[in-house]
Amino acid sequence: MKQHSTNYENTFIEIAEDCPVSQGEIPPLKGDKKSLANLQFEMLHDKPYQYTSDDVFFKVFATRKDLIDSELETARQEFFSKGQPCFRASPLTKRYGWGVHSNAEGKVALYGAESEAYERFVADSTIAKVTAMRTKRK
């Protein structure tokens, strides 16, 4: 079974052109169930470069599906047997103003669009840059 990946290496994902904010915002809680953005943010904000994007997307999937430990390995293989959206499609980069840097090992970290680090990544010619997907069509 072919395995797909959402991982990038040495790449910076800039916020979407139509992102409504110009600085990183903590995704607000809506009701008592955490959103996709909440779960992704919680994993990455205080633990930069600890996880790959594959780790983040699968962990969020497993959390939302309430999978138990004995189901995880099979579920991960099945999850990545189909292509999955990457951080270019994440609400963090499209709506909440967070850029995502992937280092040489594919581990990711968040950077608010207002930060000096964000600007350094945008100006750094040694890493690849991609822009998050737009929310609205042109």
The β-bridge partners of 102 are 11, 108
How much is the average pLDDT of 55-61? 94
Note whether 84 and 57 are within 8 A (CB).
Answer: yes
Residues 6+ apart with CB under 8 A from 81: 1, 2, 3, 4
Q: Which sequence spans correspond to the domains of the chain?
A: 11-131
- Residue 135 pLDDT: 86
Percentage of the chain with pLDDT > 90?
A: 80
Residues 6+ apart with CB under 8 A from 132: 13, 14, 15, 16, 19, 87, 88, 89, 90, 93, 94
How much is the average pLDDT of 13-18? 96
pLDDT one-digit tens code per residue, 60-77: 999 999 988 999 999 999
Query: Is 80 exceeded by the pLDDT of residue 138?
Result: no
* Tokens encoding 10: 């040495």
**If you average pLDDT over every residue of the chain, what do you get?**
93
Query: Is 70 exceeded by the pLDDT of residue 114?
Result: yes
Question: Please, which pLDDT band fits residue 14 given cuts at 50, 70 and 90?
Answer: very high
Percent of residues in the chain assigned helix, strand, coil, to nearest 5: 35, 15, 50
